[in-house]
Amino acid sequence: MAADIEYDRYDRIRPIRWTGTALELLDQRQLPFTVEYLSCSSSDDVAAAIHALAVRGAPAIGIAAAWGAVLAARDVDAGDGATAAAEIESALQRLNAARPTAVNLAWALARMRRALAGAGSDWREVLEREARAIETEDLAANRRMGEMGASLIAAGSGVLTHCNTGSLATAGFGTALGVIRAGVAQGRIDKVFAGETRPWMQGSRLTVWELQQDGIDATLIADAAASHLMKSGQVDWVVVGADRICANGDVANKIGTYQLAITARHHGKKFMVAAPSSTVDMDTASGDLIEIEERDPGELLGVSGSRTVAEGIQAWNPVFDVTPAELIDAIVTEKGIVERPDAERMKAVFGA
C-alpha cells in the first residue's frame, strides 16, 4: 500500500537480528555515539543483555527472550517438544527473571512453551518459527496501532513522549513512536518533544537519535520542563508506551510517566498509551498488584561512571511507576482503542 511505502521512510532501524546461529542485539547502552551489536550465543547471554539494558523496551525484551529460548535448545537432545521443554525450563526461568515488570517477557516465554508442548520430532523448527512469528507479528501490530493512534490526533498537533518506544524498543516502527511516525507521515503532527528520561536517558540517548535517523525533527527537554512545556501550549498530546496494562486500565511504564499524566490532566492535554495487546495483563486487576522493579541506586549517583553525588548519600531508584486509568484518555493496541479505560471497557476489547 502507498501508506506502507510512506511509513518505510520513518522506520529504518532494527535492534534485533537472528543470524541462524546467534542473536545480535543493538547495544543501546552505547548509543548514540557507537552503533554496535552484541552477539549472544546462549540464552544466558540474552538474559544478561536484557538485565543490563543492552536490549530494552517491553516488546523487544519479549522478542529477545523468544530467540533466547531457541538458543537454550541448541544443545538439547530430545525426541519431541515436551521433552525439550523440560530440558530448557531452567534457562527459561533465568530469562524470565531478567526483568520482572515487563509482561511481554513472560508472555513470549509462555508462548514458546506452548509451541514446544505440541511439537513432535520437528520441535526445533517449530521453536524457531514461533520466535520469528512473535517478531513479525509485533512489527505488523506496531504499524496498525500507529495508524489507529494517529487517527485520534488533530492536524497541526504537538506531542510529547517519554522514554523510548520506537524501533529500538520493538521489532520495528515502535509503539508510542509508531503513533508519532504515523502522525508525521499523515501530516497530523507538527512538533515532537521528548523528555530526557533520567537516569538512563533513554529519551536523550535513544529517542531523539532514532527520530533523527528517520528525518523527524524532535526537541529534547529536561524531564522537569514538562509542566512548563504543557502550560506553553505547544503540546496537545502526551503519547507513551507501557510495560504492563492491567485489567482496569492502570498502566505501568517508565518512571516519570505518572507525573506526566497528572500534568496533562491539569493542563487539559490528552494522554495516550500505545502498546501491543501482549502488554495487556487481564490477570492483574489493578496497578496496586504490580511488582515495581528497583535498580541499583548507584545509577542515580553519577553519569557515565563518573560520580556526581557526595559519598554517603542514599538514593531510591524505582524503574517504573503506575498511571491510574482515570488519567488516561486512550489505550491503543492493534486490537483496538479503549477510550477512557476502565474494567468494563478493557474487558470488552480483551476479554476476561
| pTM attached to this predicted model | 0.88
Q: What are residue 22's phi and psi, to 5 degrees?
A: -150, 160
Q: Any residues with CB less than 8 A from the CB of 305 and at least 6 apart, and which?
A: none
3 state DSSP class of 316: coil
Answer left, alpha or beta for residue 106, where phi above 0 means left and psi between -120 and 50 means alpha: alpha
Q: Where are the alpha helices (DSSP H) in 118-246?
A: 123-150, 176-185, 202, 208-213, 226-231
Inform me whether the pLDDT recorded for 57 exceeds 90: no
Q: Is 314 annotated as a binding residue?
A: no
Sorted by where each begins, the domain ranges of the chain are: 2-141, 143-350
Here the cell at position 197 is: 528520561
| 181 is annotated as contributing to ligand binding | no
Give the mean pLDDT of 164-185. Answer: 95
pLDDT computed for residue 4 by the predictor: 52
Please, are residues 214 and 223 in contact by the beta-carbon 8 Å criterion? no
Rg (CA), the chain: 20
Q: Which residue has the cell 523527524?
A: 216
Report CA 283 to chain centroid distance, whole Å. 20
CA distance 228 to 225: 5
Q: Is 58 annotated as a binding residue?
A: yes
Active site residue 342: no
Question: Where would I find the beta strands (DSSP E) of 31-102?
Answer: 37-40
The answer to whether 254 is annotated as binding is yes
Q: Which residue out of 243, 281, 321, 329 is catalytically annotated?
A: 243
Superfamily of domain 2-141: translation initiation factor eif-2b, domain 1 (1.20.120.420)
What whole-number distance in Å separates Cα of residue 290 and Cα of residue 48? 23
Q: Is the pLDDT of residue 102 over 80?
A: no
Is 156 among the annotated ligand-binding positions?
A: no
- In CATH terms, 143-350 corresponds, of 3.40.50.300, 3.30.70.260, 3.40.50.10470, 3.40.50.80, to 3.40.50.10470
At 1 the pLDDT is 37
Question: Is it the case that residue 5 has pLDDT exceeding 60?
Answer: no
Do domains 2-141 and 143-350 share one topology? The answer is: no
Cβ-Cβ contacts under 8 Å for 154 (sequence gap 6 or more): 188, 236
Model confidence at 101: pLDDT above 50: yes
Whether residue 3 has pLDDT greater than 80: no
Helices and strands in the chain, H and E counts: 12, 16
- pLDDT tens digits for 104-157? 899 999 999 999 998 999 999 999 999 999 999 999 999 999 999 999 999 999
pLDDT digits (tens, 9 = 90+) for 214-266: 899 999 999 999 999 999 999 999 999 999 999 999 999 999 999 999 999 99
**48 in a labelled binding site:** no
Place of cell 502498546: 275
Is 302 annotated as ligand-binding? no
